[in-house]
Amino acid sequence: MAPEPAPRDQLAVMRAAIGAAMARAKREIPHLYVSTSIDLTRSLAWLTTENQRRTVTERLLPVVLFIKAAARACTEVPGLNGFWTDHGFAAGAGVHIGCAIAIRGGGLVAPALHDVNVKTIDAVSHEFADLVRRARAGGLRSSEMSDATITVTNLGDLGVESAYAIIYPPQVAIVGFGRIVERPWVLDGRIEPRSVATVSVSADHRATDGREAGLFLTAIDRALQAPEAL
């Protein structure tokens, strides 16, 4: 019986598999890219107030708002939530958000949070924290690795201001959130400092178009202007 591969060998195998999938995706999928700057000042203010009444373990992270906003956009613009098949676009049976997670030792996985659109923000927060723990401990379920209908990647914590990611096939879209920065912003005719992030969508042009991707970004923006409703 062959010995189990060493952890570093397992990482190399995973990187090779991911690299092959991404090379195929870039080669075969006609990507289109759209992005916009979203004012997150209201979301962050709500988050600060909300977290002040919570214990440390119950506090919400900005990424949870991003995941919920993406799920809301999927219900409003369902053409980006699903898969490209031999017969064309197939809508996802639910809104299962793949969450890009960096694992210890290097590498990236994107397991799914299931039915995000119908869950409370607290449920999503708890499930996301559990997903991160299990991803880094090697305890993910196979369904979590295959069920995602769209993926969200958040590189803002790494200082990245904008991310234009490669789609995870057979999905047809991936949403990228960049670093939150303070910028001058025109509001009601006045210039004010606001907390802003660049949000992008990479989409499969076989399944959708720039108009629909733009509507998706608009839906994310609208959701983040009313965080209390997420």
In a domain, 83, yes or no: yes
Across residues 135-144, what is the average pLDDT?
Answer: 88
In a domain, 217, yes or no: yes
In a domain, 2, yes or no: no
In a domain, 102, yes or no: yes
State the average pLDDT for the chain.
92
Q: Which residues neighbour 12 within 8 Å (Cβ) at sequence distance 6 or greater?
A: none
Residue 68: pLDDT band (50, 70, 90) is very high
Q: Residue 115 is part of which domain span?
A: 7-229
CATH number at residue 175: 3.30.559.10
Across residues 49-68, what is the average pLDDT?
Answer: 96
Q: Which residues neighbour 48 within 8 Å (Cβ) at sequence distance 6 or greater?
A: none
Q: How many CB atoms lie within 10 A of CB 157?
A: 13
In a domain, 1, yes or no: no
In a domain, 225, yes or no: yes
The confidence score (pLDDT) of residue 66 equals: 98
In this prediction the pTM is: 0.92
The confidence score (pLDDT) of residue 103 equals: 82
Q: How far is CA 89 from CA 80, 102, 177, 180, in A?
A: 9, 29, 25, 33
- Whether residue 43 is predicted with pLDDT greater than 90 in this model: the reply is yes
Q: Structurally, how many domains does the chain consist of?
A: 1
